[in-house]
Structure 1
Amino acid sequence: MQIKNKTKNLIVSKEVIIAKNFYSRLKGLLGKENLPENQCLIIYPCKSIHTFFMKFPIDAVFIDKNYKVLKILKNIKPGKTSSYVKKSWAVIEMPVNTLVESKISTGDELLLLSDNI
């Protein structure tokens, strides 16, 4: 799967991991040494995140059920928590420094693309 920014017509991430059950959401990125470039983790349902016990910083995008970008957090260091985003349905965790204005901005619409499209 890939994530495409529909608004800007570009691929944001080429490899998507989905965490939707209790265990996968609980584990998230714990135990990983890093998050490779062009890879991301989508956690849903999710209205806030933490980076306790993580070994590296991340960028995060909070989206609603229509994949509209609600909030962007950059360079979240280990041991931190995000604010609660009331209208958030999911969070996309990405490698640090991925979220530059040219890729994703608040209000953009994203798409989740299957590999066989």
Structure 2
Amino acid sequence: MHLSGDLGRDDWSGRHSIRHRALSDGGEDEVKRLLARNVNLNSVIADKVGVAATRVARRTGLLNHERLEPGEALWIVPSRGVHTFGMKFTIDVIALDERGVIIDCVPNMKPWRIRFPRRGTAGVLELPAGRVAASGTEIGHRILFEMISMGDLADRAQTKKGDGPIFSQKKGTADVLDSGGVA
């Protein structure tokens, strides 16, 4: 769950370089998913990533969930800190800068805990407990978020290493999350 008010800088809208656009390209029949890829290991750490980009979604976070299933995650953006007050389960939390580089990691964060805001954090990815260790993901690794259609799942292209945008657009999809510029 996102920290609101001064502690979590809930007033960030428009003050960060990550912009958000609709996740659909108008084709309602084509189901799309966002996945999180560890670029350093060229491995997917979550293939069912939800995005909490509005104030309401950031405040609610995972409070209405009983658990996160394998492959699920929540990308809270913008967010510099999170808490697990009222949550029913333990999660892994990774904080990413605007390039998607992991600058902090809190494995196995139990309910009723807090991860205070850290300078340079653009967003926080919440994963099932144990996922960070199981995937070999570490501070300094880069996470790339990719929008893919269900048809692209079978033929996912390899992502190049580099310092490019935190978000990537896969062939055949439009209106994806990306970095920089004005929406």
Q: What TM-score, normalized by structure 2, do the two folds share?
A: 0.62
CA contact (8 A) 2:45 2:135 kept: no
Deviation at 1:103? 3.0
CA contact (8 A) 1:10 1:103 kept: no
Greater relative contact order (Cα < 8 A, sep 6+): 1
Find 1:74's aligned residue among 107, 111, 118. 107
Aligned length: 117
Superposed CA offset, 1:25-76 (max 9, x none): 0100002110111100000111110000000010000000110010110111
Deviation at 1:102? 4.4
Find 1:45's aligned residue among 75, 78, 86. 78
CA distance in 1, matches of 2:108, 2:52: 21
> Which residue identity does 1:84 align to in structure 2?
P
Q: Which residue of 1 aligns with 2:122?
A: 89
Q: Structure 1 residue 24 and structure 2 residue 74: aligned?
A: no
Change in 2 beyond 3 A, CA 1:95/1:102: closer
Q: What pairs up with 1:90-105 in 2 under 5 angstroms?
A: 90-100=123-133, 102-105=135-138
> Hey, which bits of structure 1, 4+ residues long, moved more than 6 A?
none
CA contact (8 A) 1:47 1:86 kept: yes
Superposed CA offset, 1:81-111 (max 9, x none): 0132111000000000111174311101111
Judging by fraction of residues, say which structure has more helix. 2
> Which residue identity does 2:65 align to in structure 1?
K
% identical aligned pairs? 26
Question: Gaps spanning 5+ residues in structure 2: where?
Answer: 1-33, 150-169, 171-183
CA contact (8 A) 1:61 1:72 kept: yes
Aligned-residue RMSD, C-alpha: 1.1
Q: Which residue of 2 aligns with 1:13?
A: 46
Question: Gaps spanning 5+ residues in structure 1: where?
Answer: none
